[in-house]
């Protein structure tokens, strides 16, 4: 019954297999600092209290996606750049490419693994510190993504990412900005770049995990070096040359 009314029901992996996992994130931190995964409410509250230290800092708690697409047996997300050049009327540029960020170690949802950030975190600032980190695997993840997409495309007779996943990502990005449109005061001759983080579930549906202002533009991997160099040139073409 619930599955008929809750579009996120299957993300738990099914009622019989659900681990009831949750992820807690400090609202004002970046690069994966303070983020942890839990299957116990008391442990999560203790973690947040300990990390907050009585400062009253805000936390974001999200249901963990248990039914997720894995590549090379690893968790991954997609970092997608979205450029806003005007809020009224809302003017959005969705960059045509994105890149994948992978965990350092193979995915597991056991209680023991929840304390291992190298299993559940994909931030490069975290995964590079794992003694099981394989730079070649992570550096070539773009090849891995394309290979899997090509396999699915051959089986379906089409481009799964372009035809199925990306259109939904564009719609989600647009709806998220529309939700914030009335709360943002637009400044003339200004623009802002956002980094959207998506995960893909087992049915190839994209889900928005978070939106980052001022997304990282450092060359953390060879993949991001190519992406950032190319994307920033295109950002300047839109924000400077077209004006």
Task: Examine residue 89 and say whether the peptide bond preceding it is cis (omega within 30 degrees of 0).
Answer: yes
Is 0.75 surpassed by the pTM of this model?
Answer: yes
Whether the CB-CB separation of 98 and 80 falls below 8 Å is answered with: yes
Of the listed ranges 127-136, 179-188, 197-206, the least confidently predicted one is 127-136
Q: For residue 134, which phi and psi values (nearest 5 degrees)?
A: -110, 100
CB atoms within 10 A of CB 129: 11
Q: Please report, for the chain, how many H helices and E strands are present, in that order.
A: 9, 7
Q: What is the pLDDT of residue 148?
A: 57
Residue 176: pLDDT above 90?
A: yes
pLDDT tens digits, 148-158:
555 555 555 56
Residue 159: pLDDT above 90?
A: no
Of the listed ranges 2-11, 18-27, 93-102, 140-149, the least confidently predicted one is 140-149
Q: Which residues contact 38 (CB under 8 A, 6 or more apart)?
A: 21, 22, 23, 24, 44, 47, 114
Arithmetic mean of pLDDT, 111-124: 88
Whether the CB-CB separation of 201 and 68 falls below 8 Å is answered with: yes
Arithmetic mean of pLDDT, 171-190: 90
Task: Report the alpha-carbon distance of residue 16 to residue 176 in Å, rounded.
Answer: 32
Q: Which two tokens stand for residue 176?
A: 């998220």
C-alpha 233, offset from chain centre: 23
Task: Report the alpha-carbon distance of residue 36 to residue 25 in Å, rounded.
Answer: 7
Residue 143: pLDDT above 50?
A: no
Q: Which CATH number fits domain 67-241: 3.40.630.10, 3.30.1390.10, 3.30.470.20, 3.40.920.10?
A: 3.30.470.20
Of the listed ranges 52-56, 135-139, 195-199, 236-240, the least confidently predicted one is 135-139
Confidence of residue 173 (pLDDT cuts 50, 70, 90): very high
């Amino acid at each position: 019954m619930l599955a008929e009314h809750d579009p996120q029901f299957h993300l738990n992996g099914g009622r019989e297999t659900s681990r009831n996992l949750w992820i807690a994130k400090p609202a004002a931190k970046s690069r994966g600092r303070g983020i942890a995964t839990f299957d116990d409410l008391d442990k999560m509250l203790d973690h947040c209290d300990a990390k907050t230290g009585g400062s009253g800092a805000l936390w974001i708690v999200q249901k963990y996606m248990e039914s997720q697409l894995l590549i090379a047996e690893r968790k991954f997300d997609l970092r997608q750049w979205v450029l806003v050049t005007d809020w009224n009327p809302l003017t959005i540029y969705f960059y045509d490419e994105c890149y994948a960020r992978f965990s350092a170690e193979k995915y597991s949802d056991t209680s023991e693994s929840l304390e291992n950030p190298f299993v559940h975190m994909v931030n490069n600032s975290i995964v590079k510190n794992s003694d099981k980190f394989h730079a070649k695997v992570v550096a070539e993840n773009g090849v891995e993504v394309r290979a899997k997409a090509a396999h699915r495309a051959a089986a379906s007779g089409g481009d799964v990412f372009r035809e199925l996943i990306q259109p939904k990502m564009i719609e989600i990005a647009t709806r998220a900005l529309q939700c914030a449109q009335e709360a943002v005061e637009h400044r003339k001759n200004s623009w802002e770049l956002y980094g959207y983080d998506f995960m893909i579930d087992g049915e190839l549906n994209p889900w928005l995990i978070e939106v980052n202002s001022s997304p990282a533009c450092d060359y953390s991997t060879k993949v991001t070096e190519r992406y950032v160099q190319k994307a920033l040139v295109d950002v300047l073409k839109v924000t400077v040359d077209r004006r």
